[in-house]
C-alpha cells in the first residue's frame, strides 16, 4: 500500500521534471516563465516585466514566498549592482507586506541557488508570535500549500500600495 501523501508524490514529480530539464541543460525557471509547464497555475502575489513573486507550492510555514528575478542569472553573484538594488528593494516591500497581511513578527530571507543550472530567486520565511527564533526555520518540514489563491491575494492587497508609494 502506498502511504506517501499525494502532495509529496506531486513534489517528487516536480523535482523529477526539474532534474530532467537540468540533464538537458535547460533552466527550469526560465522554462517555467516561458511555458508555465513546471509549476502550473500559481496565484501571483506580484508580477511585472522583471519580477514574479509567488507562494512556495510546498511551504515550510504560512506565507513562505519566492521572489524570482526573471532574466537568467545563476545566483546573486551574477547580478549587476542595479539588478541587486531592484531585487532587494522588492524583497523589502514583500517583507513588509507579509508583516502587514499575515502579522508576521519577522521575515527571514534566504538565497542559495547552488548546484547545476540554477536561477536566482529569494525565499522569504515569515516568523510568527510564539514561533521559535533561529535558523531552524530555514529547514522546517514542507507541506502542501492550502488556500493559495486567497493567501496570495491577501499579501498582494498589502503589497500593491507599498509598491505604488515607493516605485520599484
Residues of this chain that interact with Zn ion (CB under 5 A) are 27, 29-30, 72, 119
Can you give the three-state secondary structure of 39-108, one letter per residue?
CCCCCEEEECCCEEEEECCCCCCCCCEEEEECCCCCCHHHCCHHHHHHHHHHHHHHHHHHHHHHCCCEEE
Instruction: Give me the least distance between CB of 117 and Zn ion, in Å please.
Output: 8
Residue nearer to Zn ion on the CB measure, 8 or 75: 75
Residue nearer to Zn ion on the CB measure, 4 or 77: 77
Instruction: Give me the least distance between CB of 68 and Zn ion, in Å please.
Output: 9
Residue nearer to Zn ion on the CB measure, 69 or 125: 69
Instruction: Give me the least distance between CB of 78 and Zn ion, in Å please.
Output: 11
Would you tell me how many other CB atoms lie within 10 Å of the CB of residue 80? 9
Residue nearer to Zn ion on the CB measure, 31 or 106: 31
Instruction: Give me the least distance between CB of 52 and Zn ion, in Å please.
Output: 12
Residue among 122, 140, 134, 1 at smallest CA distance from 69: 122
Q: Are 56 and 64 contacting, i.e. CB atoms less than 8 angstroms apart?
A: yes
Amino acid at each position: 500500500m502506498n502511504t506517501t501523501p499525494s502532495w509529496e508524490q506531486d513534489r517528487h514529480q516536480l523535482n523529477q521534471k526539474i532534474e530532467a530539464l537540468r540533464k538537458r541543460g535547460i533552466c527550469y525557471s526560465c522554462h517555467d516563465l516561458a511555458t508555465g509547464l513546471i509549476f502550473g497555475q500559481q496565484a501571483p502575489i506580484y508580477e511585472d516585466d522583471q519580477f514574479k513573486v509567488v507562494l512556495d507550492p510546498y511551504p515550510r510555514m504560512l506565507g513562505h514566498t519566492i521572489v524570482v528575478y526573471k532574466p537568467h542569472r545563476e545566483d546573486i553573484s551574477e547580478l549587476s549592482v542595479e539588478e541587486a538594488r531592484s531585487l532587494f528593494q522588492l524583497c523589502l516591500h514583500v517583507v513588509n507586506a507579509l508583516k502587514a497581511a499575515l502579522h508576521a513578527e519577522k521575515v527571514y530571507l534566504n538565497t542559495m541557488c547552488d548546484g547545476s543550472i540554477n536561477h536566482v530567486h529569494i525565499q522569504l520565511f515569515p516568523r510568527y508570535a510564539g514561533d521559535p527564533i533561529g535558523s531552524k526555520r530555514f529547514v522546517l518540514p514542507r507541506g502542501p500549500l492550502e488556500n493559495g489563491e486567497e493567501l496570495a491575494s491577501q499579501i498582494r492587497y498589502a503589497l500593491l500600495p507599498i509598491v505604488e508609494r515607493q516605485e520599484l
